[in-house]
Amino acid sequence: MSDQGWDVPFGQAGTQLLEGPRPLGERSLVTGGAGFIGSNLVHALVERGDAVRVFDDLSTGRLSNLGDLIGEIDVIDGDLRDADAVSGAITGIGAVFHLGAVPSVARSVADPRTSHEVNVTGTVNVLLAARDLGCERIVFASSSAVYGEQSSFPLHEGLVCRPISPYGVSKLAGERYMQAFHASYGMASVALRFFNVFGPRQNPAAEYAAVVPRFIERSLAGEPVTIFGDGEQARDFVFVGDVLRACLLAAEAPADAWGGAFNVAAGKRRTVNELAATIADIVGPGLPEPIYEDARAGDVRESHADVMEADRALGFVPEVDFEHGLRRTVAWLAEERDLGLL
């Protein structure tokens, strides 16, 4: 793969960025820990010396994402809607990274009830268990979908949220519960509004796969990518290494950040057409032109972030270059294809 210029050492794109807060000295729980972001976070926590427990129903996550850590971590196959299972997972835990969710706008439009039950009721179950069992800190994975359609950009935390998808509503509800439990019970909770996260371990074969791995997989296969709408819709693509650093910083956030919600993004606007063109440049010449189809319900037109508040409150500054992160992601997906794992 190095002949194509894809093979970027992972440390250059993420691992060294995980240095920072000392290990918590307690057991950490990652809900959704077998998923894309969750499994990367589990690896980061183990690397820095934390004892880690994973809670995941494996509906979208994959144990193969944790394969090299089996035996070093606890893995619980459980459903966030099961309050008893959640309580069992949080017993003895000092910090929860709550990433478990039904993580798709399109899926929430097709099945809003399940999105609500997992993302909202499941989050309340996590908070109740954390409160009752003395868990000290919770980091909640929210989403840029809480903003919905806006007329002012870049998006900042002072804007009134106007989510247009059930997924966005569910994530905003989760944020509000984090704030309420901080106000009511003094819980040290921090919500992180992830924008379009990409990187290794993101599954292109999932039913509601994200755009970056889906485009890369199609390009590696020499097939045209499908763009919904005109492709001029803008997103803020952030590499997973930066997201992991934000999670670790949030777990050690000072008290004035508790109950808050902060953007986690690259802070740069890129269109879907630009994404497709950059991936085509990395993969190589001769790819067919994209196919354009009708825009999808629930998709916002514009989404890019101001990250100044995350810098102020958490010390988070994005550091991974967009093309550098894409090259690392292409390298990982190409290797997975070569091994027959995708």
From 84, 86, 50, 82, select the one nearest 69 (Cα to Cα): 50
Indicate whether 24 pLDDT > 90.
no
Q: What is the mean pLDDT of residues 176-188?
A: 97
Q: What is the pLDDT of residue 15?
A: 31
Query: Please, which pLDDT band fits residue 66 given cuts at 50, 70 and 90?
Result: very high
Residue 166: alpha-carbon gap to chain centroid: 18
SS3 262: strand
Q: What is the pLDDT of residue 26?
A: 67
Using alpha carbons, select from 314, 312, 303 the residue that is nearest to residue 146.
Answer: 303
Show which residues are catalytic. Answer: 167
Question: Of the candidates 195, 204, 197, 205, which has an alpha carbon nearest to the alpha carbon of residue 171?
Answer: 195
49 pLDDT higher than 70 = yes
Nearest of 97, 58, 100 to residue 77 by alpha carbon: 58
Whether 32 contacts 99, CB under 8 Å: yes
Q: pLDDT band for position 5 (50/70/90)? A: very low
pLDDT at 208: 67
**Residue extents of the structural domains in the chain:** 2-197+237-267+305-319
pLDDT band at 186 (very low <50, low <70, confident <90, very high): very high
Mean pLDDT of the chain: 91
Q: How confident is the model at residue 273 (pLDDT cuts 50, 70, 90)?
A: very high
pLDDT above 90 covers what percent of the chain?
A: 83
Strand partners, 196: 237
* Angle (CA) 29 33 37, round 5°: 120
Separation CA 52–CA 33 (nearest Å): 10
Residue 6: predicted pLDDT: 37
Which residues pair with residue 191 across a beta bridge?
140, 261
User: pLDDT tens, 90-101?
Assistant: 999 999 999 999
The whole-number average pLDDT for the span 7-20 is: 33
Say what the pLDDT of residue 299 is.
Answer: 84
CATH topology of domain 2-197+237-267+305-319: Rossmann fold (3.40.50)
pLDDT score recorded for residue 298: 82
With b meaning 16 or more CB within 10 Å and e meaning fewer, what string describes 290-304?
beeeeeeebbbebbb
Range 241-260 average pLDDT = 97
All residues at 6 or more sequence positions from 176 whose CB lies less than 8 Å from its CB, including other chains = none
* Mean pLDDT value across residues 274-280: 97
pLDDT in the model for residue 300 = 86
Predicted model pTM? 0.90
Task: Tell me what the mean pLDDT of segment 26-45 comes to.
Answer: 95
Can you give the length of the chain in residues? 342
Average pLDDT over residues 15-19: 34
Separation between Cα atoms, residue 251 and residue 189, nearest integer Å: 8
